[in-house]
Structure formats: C-alpha cells, structure tokens
Structure 1
Amino acid sequence: MLTRSLKHITLALIVFIWVVPFIALLTTSMRSEVASKTSGFWQAYTPTELGHRFSTHNKGSDAFMVLEGNILERLNKDRESYQLSGSITSILFKGRVPDPENPGKTILLRRLVPPGEVMDVRGGEFIFDEAGDFTWTFPEATAPKPKNLEVFLNQDPVFGADAFVEVLFENKNVTNALISSFIVTIPATIIPITIAAFAAYAFAWMRFPGRDWLFVVVVSLMVVPTQLAFLPVLQGFSGIASWATQLNSWMTDCELDGTCQVASKTFASLWITHTAFGLPLAIYLLRNYIVGLPRELLESARIDGANHLQIFTKLIVPLSVPALASFSIFQFLWVWNDLIVALYIGPADASDLVFPIRLQKQLGTFQDQLHLLNASAVISMIVPVIVFLSMQRYFIRGLLAGSVKGG
C-alpha cells in the first residue's frame, strides 16, 4: 500500500513539474503586456486590483451642467481587445484644498475616494459607484477641460490572443522559422525510420556473415556524444561544398554572376546529420520489436512464395506500427526541439533559421515583452504536443518492443 502511494505521489509530482510551466507560458501569452508585467500568472484567474487612468470626456465637448458616463466605458474606449470589467474600488484624488492649520493657504491632498463619496473636481461635484457609473454636476452650464483620474479597479480575469496574432502575422521571422522547422523535421523523421526499418528486418530475419557483430557496432554508436561528431561532420560538409563549388564553376558560367559558391550548411546537411544520429536507436528499437514477431507467420509467407521485400512491406511494416510510431515520436521531438545541431550544421540565413534558434534570438528582439516571448514558446510546444497526443496509444507498446513475445 505504501509503495503504491509513493508511486502515485511521484507520478503526481512529475505531472505537476511538467504541466505548471506550460500553464504559466500559456497564461502569460494570453494576457496583456501590462498585466504580464505587473502580476504573476497565478493571479490571472482571480480578480486583481489594478490602477488605470481615464478621461472624463473628450476635448471640445459642449457646455453642460450634468455629465453622466461610465468609467469602464471610458477605459475601453480605445481598446480593441482585453476589454476591462469588474468593480470600481476607489479613485485617487489629487488637488489643493484649504489648509486648516494655515488660514488663507492651501495644501496638496492625495487620498483614495471610495464609491458614493462626492469629490470636488474642477469646481463640480463628481460622484461614482462600484459599477463605474459617474455623475459630474456643476452649478451652471460650463465646458471644463477633460480631467484625467486615476481609478483602481477590482479587475476580472481577461484573456486574448493578441500576442499570438502579433507573433505569427506581424513578425514574419516566426512564420519562416515554423516553415523551416517543418522542412527539417519531417524528412529528418521519415528518412531514418525508413532506413532503420529495412536494416532492422535484415538484422532480425536475414542471415549474412558478421550480422551479430555489425549489430553490436551499430548499437555501440548510441554512446558516441553528439558534440564529439560535430568537427568531422562539419569538415565533411565543408569538403563536399568546396568540391561542389569547383564543379559548379567548371561546368557552368556561374562566375559571371557570382553564384558558384555552394553552401556547406543547408537543410540537406541537417537531414543527413539527424539521420545519422538517429539511426542507431531506431535500428535497435525496431530490431527488438521485429525479432519478437511470430516466426510461424514469416515461414508461412515464405512457403506461399513471398520474397523478403513482400514479407517486409505486407507483414513486417503493418505489424511494426507501434514501434515505428514510438520512434517517430522520439525523433520528431528531438529534431523539432534541437538547437545545438541546427546552430552548427543548419543554414545561417535569417529566413531559414529553425524555430529553436529563432526563439533564442527573440530574447533580444522582444526583450522584456514576456507575453510575446511566451506566445512564441507556446507555439513551439503545440506541434510536439499534437504529435504526441495523436500517437500516444502506440507509445507504451513501442517502448515495450521486444519485451513480450509477439510484440
């Protein structure tokens, strides 16, 4: 009983650690810039007392004796989104009043006036209620200048999608980064899965000299740190680019318009690098799954005259969907969130940067605009979450690949 409770507590703690930061990012991204700077995300779901400034009326208004209006309407007059609502708690009165200790002199008074109390504003009686309705009364018709008043509002929670609209549609860099990430991630997920599936079938059901030793070598590559391979990989791509540049200048007249140079850091270099780094784990996962499939099924297919390609495409692939989906999740999440490989191997042109690099650069672009930074972070998280949720039913089965006979 104690062990089960400890497991539940541990699981709840893990969920809490992962879910709370995402909720914080999502909440901040849907708040206004002022709200995100003045209060924490945990205060966004309860009424919060905040100060605002409103003007009693517009310039050039006609003379009046009584002016009626609503403070909330005046506050929301120029707001297209994040409309304010709630109850008025007080208005900050600032003005000079007679000094009771020094007759004939005045002092500057600052105090919070609650709803229902009359204020002297520009010679008129100003009174308001909690709903925001106010009345400004003068003894005779007059045309006073608009008065700016500081009002404190017990503000209801308010959310909007302005940050997402600004990030996606007003900042082309984010949209380009999203497209670049898809261009890199989709091929870098499909290519290693395809190669690994063929290799796993060969290691599981085909007989050839050195098969077991070759499998050991492939699996051993998983222990090679990614950072250790950067230098030879970069040297290899630089050599290929140099050779391609020379070939281009020899076969074409590119020297006339200066287009001979072939870049060494491209999307293709990222596809190759991610494929190379992802293949050992993919082959290991898929081989362990495929080797556990019923031998009788494959022998029956051979008796019916099926060759290796037919067995692979019509039997192995349909039966290996859980393992394929499991690795797809791993590879997609790894490539989508990758920063270091894209930084050293990927293209450096501003329009081709992948999303993790663009997100890192936005720390300087948006500076202290937390709502925009968090909106970008949420966008980068939404795609992996969708991929995981759509394939989660295969996830556990894929993780257990090869542990039970028959997969």
Structure 2
Amino acid sequence: MSAAASLRRIGVPRLILHASVLIICIIWLIPTLGILVTSFRDAGQITSSGWWTALTGAAETSAARLGDPASARQDGPNYNISGSVFDGGDVKSGSVVAFGTRVAAPTEFEAGKEADLGDGEKLTVNTDGSYFYVKSGPFDDKRGKRIYLSITQPPNFTLNNYRTVLTSAGIGQSFINSLTVAIPATIIPILIAAFAAYALSWMKFPGRSLIIALVVGLIVVPLQMTLIPLLTLYNDIGNLFGVSSRSYVGIWLAHAAFGMPLAIYLLRNYIAGLPKEIIESARVDGASDFEIFVKIVLPLSFPALASFSIFQFLWTWNDLLVAMVFLGTGKDQLVLTGSLNALLGSMGGKWEILTASAFITIIVPIIVFFALQRYLVRGLLAGSVKGG
C-alpha cells in the first residue's frame, strides 16, 4: 500500500496531500536553485544583489570623483566641469539610476535631472554616466568632488567560478577518492545488513529480541564517541600485521560500522513485512534459508535496499570528519569535501567559489537521489504499513 493511499485512508484530503508535497518540494528546491544560479554569477553581482535578480540585473553602489577642478571652463560668472563618471572609476560600465553626495544617500537625486547641491552648485548625471557640474565661482576641491552612484549592471553569467574550482590542484584526485570511499562504503553495509535483517526476521534463535533491541539502541549512539576507540583499534591491528591503518579498507569498515544499525533496522522492518505465505511455501518446497534469501527476499526488498543506499551514499559522500580521521589529510588522500574546504580556506570568503564548490559537491548525490527516489518512501514506510 502506498504512502498516499495510507494517508487518504485516515482522512487526509487529496488536495491537502498534494499541496503539502508541493510545498515540501519547493522548500527543498529553492536553496539548490539559489546555489546553482549564484555559482554562475560574478563576484560583484553576488555581493550586491540576491540570486533572484540574476535575470533582471543588479543594482550596485559605487563611488566616483568628478573631473580635476583645474580643467574647469569658465562661462561668464560660472565654472563648469563635464566628463563621465566611468572614466578612471572602479565601475567601467552600466546604467546610472541615481546619484548622491553622501554615502548614506546614493539615490538622493534621480539620474538625468539637474540636482541643486547648494552654495551655487548644480550637478546633472545622465544614465550613460556623462555629467555636467556647474558652480557660481571657482571650484575649491583640489581633487574633484566625490559622488556616489546607484548603477544597474546587466545580467552577467560566467564559467570562471567552475574553472577556478575544477582547475585547482588536487580536485580531480579528490573526486576519485570520494567515489572510492562512497561506493564500497555503501555496498558493504547493505550486504551485511541484508543477511542480518533476514535472520532477525525469519530465523528462530535464542537472543533474537535482545539483538534487535541492541541494534535499535546503537542507532542513537553519537558517531564522535566511537572515533577514538575505533582509530585505536585500527592502529593496533595495523601495527600487529605491519600495515598502515590509514587505508581505504579502514574507512570502508568504519563507515560500514556506523551505518550498520540503521541499515539492519530499516531492512528488518521491510523484510519482516513480506507475506509469510511466500516464505513458508518456499520452505515446504525444500528451499534453504540462503536460497529463500537470495531468490525471494532480496528481489522483493529492492525498495528498502534503495532507500538505505540513498542515505548511506549521501552520508559517506558528504563526510569530512571520518575521512580525515581514518584516511588522512595528505594531498593524495583528501576526499572532495576536504579538498574544497582547503580551497575555500585559501581563497578567503569568496561567495562565487563557495557556491561553485557546493554545487560540485552535491551534483553526484542529486543524481543518486533522483535515480532512486521513487523507492525512497516506499522502502521507508512499507514495513510500518504492513506491520512487522
């Protein structure tokens, strides 16, 4: 029975159900869309406006100095200076929306209209950046009057952020390291937990209830509590056999150990809910427990296996702490999260690098999630709906 059908049975209208799912999807997608859009914008527009303005342009506040007073031309009793605010300024192009003489009020005057600055001074700044500055007497400011501008920049998208991240030293090797860690660390606990879940569901032996209770209790044990004991154990084993404990085998076993309680719990709930008649019929036909597990239980348990695969892969792919403890921090040992973390540390607080790095990190989990998401809810809820 599907989750939607179960909710309808307890009185939840279909419209509310669909609206709730839609709201959850939107909430989940908005941050991802923001990261994606921001990762293609240049640094100036990221700091001056939000990602939702990417298609309409960004308004930036900039400062400029008017021309040298020594170049002023006299026109009767008045003196005037003309030029462009883009000459020699930090901003080279754009459309001037407004201007002002105080940093607190850069939009005090509208572009294209003459502004009375007082003391016989009048200033006009056009949208193309050209200006005309008039004063009823010689100019006193030796460096030129400082003004502040509100400038609209056209949308500007770039691939330089991704080039910076992807061409930085060690990123390619770190990507391979992450795949080398995540794939086996997802498969190993699934294989072991599937056998254990079948045994705890359909095989009678003393202490089965105690083992189930122990598995449930281990789910809430914080990972950080086990890091030092496990690392000590690995080091002792490595010293005993004369091999380094900082290896892929060590981190595979560590991730398998951390993921095993949840895997056994999820798979046991699902396998225990399979129709009892199928298992009994196979036993009557003379099938062994191994044959029942391989030929019947595993194919029927694919939704639960896929559900746990999503959780475990996301965890191992995004992990940094366990990888640094059990694999190491050498240049050839860093996983992708560690390498990108080091890159961010060396690049400072550059948002364009941060967002590009974040999207490179999440692109693989997103592919895995969408490939298996149709089995996710089915695998998580089937055991609770059918009973176990």
TM over 0.5: yes
Secondary structure at the aligned position of 2:155 is classed as coil
Equivalent residue, structure 2, for 1:31: 41
- Give the whole-Å Cα distance in 2 for the aligned partners of 1:318 and 1:369: 48
What letter corresponds to residue 156 of structure 1 in structure 2? Answer: P
The structure 2 residue matched to 1:365, chosen from 346, 350, 353, is 346
Which string of whole-angstrom CA distances, capped at 9 and with x for unpartnered residues, describes residues 79-124 of structure 1? xxxxxxxxxxxx9974623134779xx7755666999x9xxxxxxx
Q: Give 1:205 shift.
A: 1.0
Equivalent residue, structure 1, for 2:30: 20
Which string of whole-angstrom CA distances, capped at 9 and with x for unpartnered residues, describes residues 135-165 of structure 1? xxxxxxxxxxxxxxxx998543232333223
- Native 8 Å contact 1:355 1:380 kept in 2: yes
Equivalent residue, structure 1, for 2:177: 180
The structure 1 residue matched to 2:72, chosen from 81, 85, 97, is 97
Is 2:223 the partner of 1:226?
Answer: yes
Please, what TM-score do these two structures have when normalized by structure 2? 0.72
Is 2:216 the partner of 1:241?
Answer: no
Which string of whole-angstrom CA distances, capped at 9 and with x for unpartnered residues, describes residues 206-233 of structure 1? 1222222222222221121111111211
Is 2:145 the partner of 1:164?
Answer: no
Report how many aligned residue pairs link the two structures: 318
- Give the whole-Å Cα distance in 2 for the aligned partners of 1:312 and 1:179: 34
- Native 8 Å contact 2:183 2:313 kept in 1: yes
Is 2:21 the partner of 1:46?
Answer: no
Please, what TM-score do these two structures have when normalized by structure 1? 0.69
Query: Structure 2 matches for 1:304-343, cutoff 5 A?
Result: 304-343=285-324
What letter corresponds to residue 30 of structure 2 in structure 1? Answer: V
- Native 8 Å contact 2:194 2:267 kept in 1: yes
Q: Give 1:39 shift.
A: 3.5
Of 106-115 and 27-36, deviating more is: 106-115
- Give the whole-Å Cα distance in 2 for the aligned partners of 1:177 and 1:37: 29
- Native 8 Å contact 1:180 1:352 kept in 2: yes
Which string of whole-angstrom CA distances, capped at 9 and with x for unpartnered residues, describes residues 207-260 of structure 1? 222222222222221121111111211110111122233xxxxxxxxxxxxxxx
Change (3 A) 1:9 1:387: same
Equivalent residue, structure 2, for 1:351: 332
Which string of whole-angstrom CA distances, capped at 9 and with x for unpartnered residues, describes residues 301-329 of structure 1? 12222211111111000000111011111
Give the aligned CA root-mean-square deviation in angstroms. 3.4
Change (3 A) 1:156 1:316: same
What letter corresponds to residue 28 of structure 2 in structure 1? Answer: W
Query: Structure 2 matches for 1:63-82, cutoff 5 A?
Result: none
Equivalent residue, structure 2, for 1:389: 370
- Give the whole-Å Cα distance in 1 for the aligned partners of 2:209 and 2:232: 31
- Give the whole-Å Cα distance in 1 for the aligned partners of 2:74 and 2:17: 70
What letter corresponds to residue 174 of structure 1 in structure 2? Answer: I
What letter corresponds to residue 190 of structure 1 in structure 2? Answer: I
Secondary structure at the aligned position of 1:311 is classed as helix
Change (3 A) 1:112 1:345: closer
Secondary structure at the aligned position of 2:72 is classed as strand
- Consecutive unaligned residues in structure 2, runs of 5 or more: 1-11, 87-94, 97-111, 113-125, 129-148
